[in-house]
Structure 1
């Protein structure tokens, strides 16, 4: 017989023993037990026998006489007297552990328990120890749960332990589950039960090796007596919900320990039978809704249950990388042991009636003993002074050399026009404009403090927004029968005075053209629509209409990519830009400075991007929320991670009819201003055609910074963007010095959920008294 056959035979012989977990007890004073043990000794080859009964009895005698100093010879003599006529081999009990082929001679139950718990005194009084021996605790999920269960067994702070887990031990579990490689493939409940039996063969253990489900959940909680505490350490969110619903029905308290930062969650349904599940953090979610979700799709619910703000920075990093570079959320052995011990401590105090309230608690060892002293404070973003009314008046004087205007504006006219102009698009809805009505002129200023950022090279994106606002003003004025003249950047001494508008008596060579004045009706309705929808090809007539609208501004050009391969390529490139924007400290701060997470935040500032307008799935919304955790970024960068951050771009482009790039011939403020006029014309035409526009311009603006040296960006970001640049220019070929004003998705989409707000006119328009 070769080695393989011999191994196969041994595996078959071991199959029965592989499922064993209850030790066999033999008391030799009982004739039947004596015969059974004799048979066992004959039939089990290689049986290991351990007999330390004398040492146990010496220990028992010394603990019963703590004030005496008993020498070893005297202790052995007391043991002889204590045994009397009873042969040593007949005293106590012989315990056979079949899975380990071990036979161990122990004190019988009463003396065993007395001696084994002696060192609990007086952390636990004898009365408390006796009370704990009547308690039943159930543990569901045996990663953290294994440590909790074995710790309770060590303390003997429980009379019965019920264990449930359907899973078997994998090699990847051995970073946190105390076991041995010979247990690979063995049920986790069997492993834990064996560990407990080898600590205390008299402790009652009940197993549910298929885990808990609808058919056995009530039995787990109630059969053999109602549980006193349920410990939830399972990974399944729908099971977590079902556990609590049923536990609350039967007034059973629930404890959960997450192992990340030792977050311990206690729900005292025994004392508060109407208490909301998970303290009301998850609302009324039906377990069936989330039963079949992927790991990524479960993240929003995990964040609600755990609390995003309570997670460690490394867990946040890991969550970002789930289903990208790692399969699921990680756990460390030290955290599992630490948290499991803390959980066992709390369960003991609950069962003794010492801890009688619900709550969430963090026993984070890294917070107690941090790696570094607390930082001095947050890193401040660069400060750019905002325009004041006085500064605008001085700039207006210099920009027009004090010349009077031909016709005056009424204040009401100016307010109406500025209100519509302020509906123009701007990156991050920063609304980087201030207006001044003075001396018969309307001045448009670049409020650079609102648009200066690392993702917007030289605030050129802000300048494009000013151009869009100027185009909106033109349309609004023409709709009211007004003729306008426009000067763009009239003074080199005032680079942030973007434009000056004057009323004219009638049409003439200085008047702005009447290009598609009928689009004025769309000024208040045009929006950014990020909703996903099934992909539809871009109609040729629509393609031409968007191109013609763009090219109506001299020098403006519009290119599209629409094939599957090209769209997949641009999705990956946009994802690279998104990834860099999130993992870079400053880019991240600036990005999240634009996000408004609640209606109250949005109403308070009336700028920025409301979270609902991003049209994110629950998983993506949760992921974005985690991405604002600055403390997670250093590790993410060090790992070269964040590729999962590209997924949102792929999802967005999946519904694109096409992706367009609007360019101007050169890089410069006036070119970007005119490019902004072109993008507003194109966007209004798209709206009239029922097309949805979604700007995705982070990538070209980061490219622009890299093209000018990459100042402010990390070396890794510059390298990643420089590597991506040739791929981008293959999709959108053009002149080396061209200005890339707007990269955007065009698609068909349903009406958007929510529009971003605009600042009130009173905040952005100053009416001069002179």
Structure 2
């Protein structure tokens, strides 16, 4: 027998295989199935056998225990226990794909679906997944339609798929249909059905290999249960019209995606049973009038359906060339895949009752990501407007100074030098909530409340602590220059945001500020927040005593530490709870990210906030933080009661800590927080001299403070979480209810930070009055 005869015989034998599309299922625990499979193995000696059941069971066990880290060895042992007395080959189901002569061992239906859809959570909730499993979707036309169908199969966002197309695969189809050359000449519905079966052999698929026509259109829409959505991707305009007429009669919604500019057309005949077909764009055209038109003759109708104004310039050009230099309208694989995915997404949302209206939408990727940059790409940043103006500060200063004796004059240049050093003081989120005024021989420090007031900072007291730290820095800088100062904190009840007034003194005396450790002035320009992590080093008792002494030099200040491994693990969990609430709550989230600067240019323009690179994040953590800006995504997280993963950054940060400290003052008042800020600056400067890295983690303490005072602005969930966490916190740090918790911070030893936060210029924060 020559080669041609042998090929002819083989083609005749393979004819049945070419038409097969349903996989055969064998369960070896059933004796009849065991016999049938044994017979099949005898008849098909070249069959390929794939058995990865153990890997599937390991995957199943790990997904059911997401919080555990299960080693490969432990996982195999769990598989052995899970199978019990059942032999591995009798567990699950053996699936035979006759068109590929391939036998695959799989988990049986329930476990297969559970594992295969596990990664859908929580983009789809379990309830949504169950609802979608009852939905029926029909797809007419399997170019774009193939991608829609297989995408729905991938997501398992449908329970039954009906496929209709009369066409077979041509070589010219392979620029946009994902298939193989061995499928040339095979029915497109068979190819798509096989693709789905190889993804999921349990998914119900019904085929109409001759397409839809007058005799079977109603059956396609209704037989076996009415379709929930009809997807029209066919090329025939008369069939498009007939589909819509019949779908409208039976109140079935229709979706169409054109793949040019991804025009998506939704007609909700289920909600609007009298809605005009194609939104009334084609009038009352009878399908029979256009059934036998040539491609070129259909163009005017296509333009009515799609709209010339919505077409891409290249498609318009192509339309002109149809049946001249090209046979029909072109389609690109990238556009078909993009549009098919978009269509599958919209169908899913329609079936979940989330998208309940008709309309036309253009999801043009070239418009979303244009070839040329948008004209507004370099728009200036929205810089925060200060609360205090120069005129307002002058009026407040004049009111306070009225009737007081003249003060010793300051040289403006000296004031600039001191304020520039003071502005290096720490502030929550690097908000720098200060404005300074030199007027009449006095230096006034104002609280720029607009910069510090937020839901995470109760009564802007964190900003007040920053003012205290700035005042301490000014003291040290002045003493380093041989100056004597007096300081009055909150000198006027009528001006609560006038935080302090400084005067030069001719000599030391009873009214002069303390000279406590003036040598710390050398560290003012280099003290910084250090968020780098390293291996944990035990907390040196001598260092602990030095920090306590520094903080305690301010009357009423007290410093508490936890340093045991269990205690640090507990405080990490509590700080993580605070982080979780701050990120998941909409207003807290907005305020948090208002402080973040994402580019060097943004950081340079504002010269405040936290530049992202200074957070010392890994690439994964940085990406995670960026995703946390998506407040729309956090809505679902709140609904699910989720967000535990948001606690991980605190655990990582505290894993390297030698200790976590809490600085307290006797009362919750502006004066105590101001003096607490002085204490924290002294403690921090001493820590810097000892080579210790300080990283504030104060949000939790300030949220506790708000929750303890009624929780105004916080969500019920946040208040409840904080109330539950508070007793755990006070067991670690036994503070009294009336005490102020000024600073919660990590102490560690680490390399120098990558960079330090920028500060606003002296010209921005100091006004020298004439």
Q: TM-score, normalised by structure 2?
A: 0.58
Aligned residues of 1:20 and 1:99 also touching (Cα < 8 A): no
1:523 aligned to 2:524?
yes
Cα distance, 1:96 vs structure 2: 10
Q: Within 5 Å, which residues of 2 pair with 1:227-626?
A: 354-355=330-331, 365=346, 370=355, 386-626=387-627
Cα distance, 1:163 vs structure 2: 7.2
Aligned residues of 1:694 and 1:745 also touching (Cα < 8 A): yes
| 1:579-632 CA distance string (max 9 Å, x none) | 111111111111111111111211111111111111122222112111111212
Aligned residues of 1:434 and 1:446 also touching (Cα < 8 A): yes
1:189 aligned to 2:198?
yes
Cα distance, 1:716 vs structure 2: 1.5
Cα distance, 1:190 vs structure 2: 7.5
| 1:324-357 CA distance string (max 9 Å, x none) | xxxxxxxxxxxxxxxxxxxxxx9xx999771459
Q: Distance in 2 between matches of 1:503 and 1:639?
A: 60
- CA distance change for structure 1 residues 647 and 395 in 2, over 3 Å: closer, same or farther? same
Aligned residues of 1:384 and 1:448 also touching (Cα < 8 A): no
Q: Distance in 2 between matches of 1:580 and 1:157?
A: 56
2:737 alignment partner in structure 1: 736
- CA distance change for structure 1 residues 190 and 547 in 2, over 3 Å: closer, same or farther? closer
Aligned residues of 2:386 and 2:451 also touching (Cα < 8 A): no
Q: Distance in 2 between matches of 1:194 and 1:589?
A: 43
Aligned residues of 2:163 and 2:207 also touching (Cα < 8 A): no
Cα distance, 1:156 vs structure 2: 4.3
**Secondary structure of residue in 2 paired with 1:491:** coil
Stretches of structure 1 that go unaligned for 5 or more consecutive residues are 25-94, 101-118, 165-177, 202-260, 267-345, 375-380
Cα distance, 1:189 vs structure 2: 2.9
- CA distance change for structure 1 residues 6 and 605 in 2, over 3 Å: closer, same or farther? closer
Q: Distance in 1 between matches of 2:625 and 2:486?
A: 45
| 1:452-511 CA distance string (max 9 Å, x none) | 111111100000000000011111111111111111001111000000111111211111
2:671 alignment partner in structure 1: 670
Q: Distance in 2 between matches of 1:370 and 1:6?
A: 45
2:16 alignment partner in structure 1: none
- CA distance change for structure 1 residues 584 and 196 in 2, over 3 Å: closer, same or farther? closer
| 1:417-441 CA distance string (max 9 Å, x none) | 1111011110111100000000111
2:35 alignment partner in structure 1: 13
Q: Distance in 2 between matches of 1:696 and 1:6?
A: 59
**Secondary structure of residue in 1 paired with 2:482:** coil
Q: Distance in 1 between matches of 2:385 and 2:354?
A: 39
Q: Distance in 2 between matches of 1:262 and 1:549?
A: 71
Q: Distance in 2 between matches of 1:351 and 1:508?
A: 99
Q: Distance in 2 between matches of 1:351 and 1:622?
A: 47
Q: Distance in 1 between matches of 2:633 and 2:586?
A: 10
2:302 alignment partner in structure 1: none
**Secondary structure of residue in 2 paired with 1:143:** helix
Q: Distance in 2 between matches of 1:409 and 1:21?
A: 104
- CA distance change for structure 1 residues 158 and 754 in 2, over 3 Å: closer, same or farther? farther
| 1:612-656 CA distance string (max 9 Å, x none) | 111122222112111111212332222111111111111111111
Q: Within 5 Å, which residues of 2 pair with 1:56-205?
A: 143=154, 154=165, 156=167, 158-159=169-170, 189=198
2:638 alignment partner in structure 1: 637
Q: Distance in 2 between matches of 1:749 and 1:652?
A: 12
| 1:171-212 CA distance string (max 9 Å, x none) | xxxxxxx99xxx9xx9963857999997779xxxxxxxxxxx
Q: Distance in 2 between matches of 1:15 and 1:728?
A: 64
- CA distance change for structure 1 residues 264 and 768 in 2, over 3 Å: closer, same or farther? farther
Cα distance, 1:750 vs structure 2: 1.5
Q: Distance in 2 between matches of 1:643 and 1:622?
A: 17
Q: Distance in 2 between matches of 1:687 and 1:475?
A: 15
1:706 alignment partner in structure 2: 707
Q: Distance in 2 between matches of 1:145 and 1:709?
A: 46
- CA distance change for structure 1 residues 156 and 602 in 2, over 3 Å: closer, same or farther? farther
Stretches of structure 2 that go unaligned for 5 or more consecutive residues are 1-26, 47-97, 104-138, 181-191, 211-254, 261-314, 320-325, 360-381
1:759 alignment partner in structure 2: 760
- CA distance change for structure 1 residues 190 and 734 in 2, over 3 Å: closer, same or farther? closer
Q: Distance in 1 between matches of 2:393 and 2:720?
A: 41
1:723 aligned to 2:724?
yes
- CA distance change for structure 1 residues 630 and 584 in 2, over 3 Å: closer, same or farther? same
Cα distance, 1:162 vs structure 2: 7.3
Q: Distance in 1 between matches of 2:547 and 2:646?
A: 31
| 1:264-306 CA distance string (max 9 Å, x none) | 999xxxxxxxxxxxxxxxxxxxxxxxxxxxxxxxxxxxxxxxx
Q: Distance in 2 between matches of 1:688 and 1:451?
A: 29
Q: Distance in 2 between matches of 1:263 and 1:547?
A: 69
RMSD after superposition: 4.7
| 1:344-398 CA distance string (max 9 Å, x none) | xx9xx99977145967775663699856999xxxxxx9x9970111111111122
- CA distance change for structure 1 residues 369 and 671 in 2, over 3 Å: closer, same or farther? closer
Aligned residues of 2:478 and 2:485 also touching (Cα < 8 A): yes
Cα distance, 1:154 vs structure 2: 4.6
Aligned residues of 2:658 and 2:747 also touching (Cα < 8 A): yes
**Secondary structure of residue in 2 paired with 1:559:** strand
2:75 alignment partner in structure 1: none
- CA distance change for structure 1 residues 753 and 18 in 2, over 3 Å: closer, same or farther? farther
Q: Distance in 1 between matches of 2:206 and 2:329?
A: 28
